[in-house]
Structure 1
């Protein structure tokens, strides 16, 4: 097996992330829970559980990850990403995002808050807040793959997303680059391969957009060469 990535890179890879027969509707969010295995090469080194639910404060989209093998398990590495979003124009729009990563040798956190009345984003990673103007349709790195899946469900072949990063809004570009046969623990699928086409072209994600709003598979060439594969998906809380 290749040398495992650092916990920071490992969980950065998991961020881009994510068999029920019921199709979802893009006109309103549908609660779900999706479980992924995370591999480096042929070895499973982690698990990610992505869920969407309705709360009193709005929609909550979370990604809970943990290391189950290799260095990630040895360090007790885990991370939690939680986004609260509002539903606007049939798409998610971030209101708040919280990230936590913990390991034996390091911990990290970041919070993002969007004040839509003031049209302002505030990002704080413990070293002082960065503020900048919000953009309509803004998402964060946690909900970006979900937003792509919703756009594909609506028939789009190219997707442009304004994503809140540390110091600014980054306009990320994606396109359907082909159709592939994909086999993952959740099953075998004819999937649309989506690639990022702007400055970061290090990953590909495979979607079955009429069935799932999140990828069935995702690969990332940087951060240690990680692959996420869907294990199970169920609708409802």
Structure 2
């Protein structure tokens, strides 16, 4: 049972108001960010998130998580998610996404988006699903970046079209308060953002200088917390 919860936690870690495409102020710049990952308040691993420009408005965004202590380390738990997206009409749009989570068993998922036919194909261990794409659609890997870019543009309420297994979810987020938050990278005056359209608890703390949250807390797959340790522009 604990192994199952650990797998769900790793999947959740890959995961960070009008029903229109969010428009951002400017395209993102390349960076590397490292996070301390905790489950139920105890350190379990480290995540490294990297964004790099491929040129011509194309980007690669990767999120690698490795279990470094406790059960996660014992099981050799790790996950790797990579998204290729394009900068199109002043917003980012997922082109393809792959994820692999290993903790005794291996779970894999791929997403391919054909923007010519506006079709999404999602394949995992259980089969394949197809559905229509939506302009400005991101995925479970890149939504924390898309949310951060929307907030940096001055939005206080944001709806993001996020492609999941069987459909596009129009996930709604809203700034709840401005408050101080302390993480390994330092103490920041941040905006606390919560998801408002779901009973799955999600909160993230964003600051103006970074496109990703300095802290993220969510309950899906376990009580998962990610705290920024280091951020560097590439």
TM-score by length of 2: 0.91
Q: CA deviation at 1:93?
A: 0.3
Q: Deviations over 1:168-188 (max 9, x none)?
A: 111100000111100001110
Written as runs of structure 1 = structure 2, the 5 A alignment for 1:1-237 is 6-17=5-16, 26-55=25-54, 58-103=58-103, 105-208=104-207, 210-236=208-234
**Unaligned 5+ residue runs, structure 1?**
18-24
**Does 51-60 or 126-135 show the bigger shift?**
51-60
C-alpha distance in 1, partners of 2:42/2:90?
A: 38
Normalized per residue, which structure has more strand? Answer: 2
C-alpha distance in 1, partners of 2:221/2:38?
A: 12
| 1:6 counterpart SS class | helix
Q: CA deviation at 1:129?
A: 1.7
Equivalent residues of 1:91, 1:150 under 8 A apart: no
Q: CA deviation at 1:147?
A: 0.3
C-alpha distance in 1, partners of 2:98/2:113?
A: 12
C-alpha distance in 1, partners of 2:59/2:49?
A: 13
Q: CA deviation at 1:56?
A: 5.9
Give RMSD over aligned pairs. Answer: 1.7
TM-score by length of 1: 0.90
C-alpha distance in 2, partners of 1:218/1:59?
A: 23
Equivalent residues of 2:7, 2:102 under 8 A apart: no
C-alpha distance in 2, partners of 1:94/1:139?
A: 5
**Unaligned 5+ residue runs, structure 2?**
17-23
| 1:215 counterpart SS class | coil
Q: CA deviation at 1:145?
A: 0.5
Equivalent residues of 1:114, 1:121 under 8 A apart: yes
Aligned residues: 225
Q: CA deviation at 1:77?
A: 0.5
After the TM superposition, which segments of 4 or more aligned residues of structure 1 sit over 6 Å from their partners?
none
| 2:44 counterpart SS class | strand
